[in-house]
Structure formats: C-alpha cells, structure tokens
C-alpha cells in the first residue's frame, strides 16, 4: 500500500465527517488507507467512521496530545507514505495523487497548500489562519521550508520512524519535529499541488491565547538553552523581531493570495499586529521566567 492518511481526533465529530467524505472521493492515487486515532469523551467519532471503506479507528480511552496520536497512527500504518491531516481539513480531490507524484520526484518530507475553509469563517477565522499559515498559500511556488505544519504534512514512513516521530508536547510538535529533521540534514519543501482547506472557528480571545502560547513555545523549543548574552540580546531586540514577523506575515499574504484575500489581509492587519504583540509577550514570558513548553492544548 502506498499511502496512509493519519488523523488524530479528540471530540472532532463536527468536522471529521467532511474530512472523511473528501478522502472518499480522492482520484488517481490507487490504494490507500485512513487511520483515525481517537481519544474522544464518547464513541461518536467511532460511530461516525463506522462502515466507511478504507477507514480504521484506533480508540484510546486516555486523552493524548495530537503528536502522540499521530505517532500511534504511524505505528499502525501500512502505507509507505504518511499523510498527516487534521480532522478539520478537507483535501482537494487530487491531493493524494499529487502527494504521490511529488514524492516520486524525490521529496521525502513536505507540506501542502493549506487554505481557509470559508464556509463559516469570520474575523477570528482569518486572523488565526493568516497568522499560523502564512507559508502555505496555494499561490506560492514550490520552495524550501524551515519547518512544516502537521495539519497537512507528508513524510516517508521509514524516515518518520527512524527520526523518532513527534515529541509528546501539547502544541508545536510539528515545528519541533520538522526543525529536528532539518537539523539532521533532511530537506523540507512546500508544494502548492497538495491542497487542503481548514476550518478555523475559535473566538478571538482563544486565538490570541494560542498565539501567546506559540511565542512561549517558540522560545522554549528553539532557544531554551540560550546563553545569558543571547537572552539579553533577545530582551532588547524582541520588539523588532516581533514587528518583522508581523510584517513578514502580512507581506506573504499580500504576495501570494488572490486580490480578494489581499483586501482581507489589509483589513485584518491591525488584528495581526495585536497577534504579533501577543506572540512577543509569550516569548518574553518564556525568556524571563524560563517557564518551558506550555502544557496547554
């Protein structure tokens, strides 16, 4: 079997059905399987997936972090290529065939274009999507990447196992994993041919909390062993770093989105600036108090 799609699940019954429906109509990709690793509070996800062809559900009673769910799915996978997809992402009908074709060109680890599912989007949806997915627009050409999102990530199973899989942390396990691969000499790339659409429905306070945690975890994952001199430099330079990050996010959307979404980018730019400040505060918190990786999911 060539492909295994791995989906971690916790109380995802509101979105998982559409995700599985999109997988059921994939074209041109041959044999593949779908492994849903579920730790929900009840059996609704299990019942939702029951009877669907190609779909297996691995049920766990104890709640796990998403990375651990992906590790469980990868361990049970039969496919040579692992396609990690979140339960709120629907793949375009040619996504799996495009993943196979791109892999056959020699790419072992790569991400795809992750666009916002606008069916029930609002300002908070665009804010969350634009802040966290500013490197994965469908209009962006293929390129090298320094890290990847596990909401839509493709990895050779042998490589995944060899490199030890995802670290068991609540958030940013994809950043830690993909940057670890890069440090080990593995090339990460992006292709706009593998396309998914993600639902974002968190309210603005929750989005900003996620951004704050992202800043905290960014410091802890990348710079947790920084010297006193490096920490002092961060204290001074972090406002400039945060401003540059926000400008880069806005710039990428203005460059790679279509005209309508460019207008949306300009409209929510003040919100993105606030998010950038929240990211900076999270970074400062980890820098000053050495609080480590957040345990919040």
Q: What is the pLDDT along the chain (297 residues), one digit of tens a residue?
A: 899 999 999 999 999 999 999 999 999 998 999 999 999 999 999 999 998 999 999 999 999 999 999 999 999 999 999 999 999 999 999 999 999 999 999 999 999 999 999 988 999 999 999 999 999 999 999 999 999 999 999 999 999 999 999 999 888 999 999 999 999 999 999 999 999 999 999 999 999 999 999 999 999 999 988 999 999 999 999 999 999 999 999 999 999 999 999 999 999 999 999 999 999 999 999 999 988 888 887
pTM, two decimal places: 0.95
Q: Indicate left, alpha or beta for 231 from its phi (over 0: left) and psi (-120 to 50: alpha).
A: alpha
- Contact present, 145 and 111 (Cβ < 8 Å): yes
Say if CB 163 and CB 180 are below 8 A apart. yes
Q: Are 138 and 115 in contact (CB under 8 A)?
A: yes
* Cα–Cα distance measured from residue 106 to residue 95, given in angstroms and rounded to the nearest whole number: 17
Outline where DSSP puts E strands in the chain. Answer: 3-9, 32-38, 55-59, 81-85, 89-91, 109-116, 143-145, 152-156, 188-198
């Amino acid at each position: 079997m060539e492909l295994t799609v791995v989906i971690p699940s916790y109380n995802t019954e509101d979105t998982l059905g559409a995700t599985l429906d999109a997988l059921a109509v994939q074209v041109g990709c041959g044999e593949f399987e779908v492994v849903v690793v579920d730790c929900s509070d009840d059996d609704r996800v299990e019942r939702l997936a029951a009877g669907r062809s190609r779909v297996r559900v691995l049920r766990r009673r104890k709640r796990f972090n998403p990375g651990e769910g992906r590790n469980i799915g990868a361990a049970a996978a039969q496919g040579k290529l692992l396609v990690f997809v979140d339960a709120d992402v629907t793949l375009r009908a040619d996504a799996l065939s495009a993943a196979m074709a791109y892999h056959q060109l020699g790419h072992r680890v790569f991400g795809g274009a992750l666009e916002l599912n606008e069916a029930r989007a609002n300002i908070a949806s665009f804010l969350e999507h634009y802040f966290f997915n500013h490197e994965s627009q469908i209009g962006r050409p293929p390129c090298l990447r320094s890290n990847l999102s596990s909401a839509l990530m493709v990895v050779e199973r042998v490589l995944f196992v060899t490199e030890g899989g995802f670290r068991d942390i609540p958030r940013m396990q994809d950043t830690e994993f993909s940057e670890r691969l890069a440090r080990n000499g593995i090339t990460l790339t992006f292709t706009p041919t593998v396309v998914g659409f993600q639902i974002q429905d968190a309210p603005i306070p929750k989005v900003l909390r996620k951004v704050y945690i992202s800043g905290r975890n960014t410091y802890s994952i990348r710079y947790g062993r920084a010297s006193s001199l490096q920490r002092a430099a961060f204290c001074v330079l972090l406002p400039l770093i945060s401003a540059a990050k926000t400008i880069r996010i806005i710039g990428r959307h203005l460059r790679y989105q279509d005209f309508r979404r460019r207008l949306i980018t300009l409209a929510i730019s003040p919100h993105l600036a606030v998010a950038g400040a929240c990211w900076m505060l999270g970074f400062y918190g980890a820098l000053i108090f050495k609080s480590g990786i957040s345990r919040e999911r």
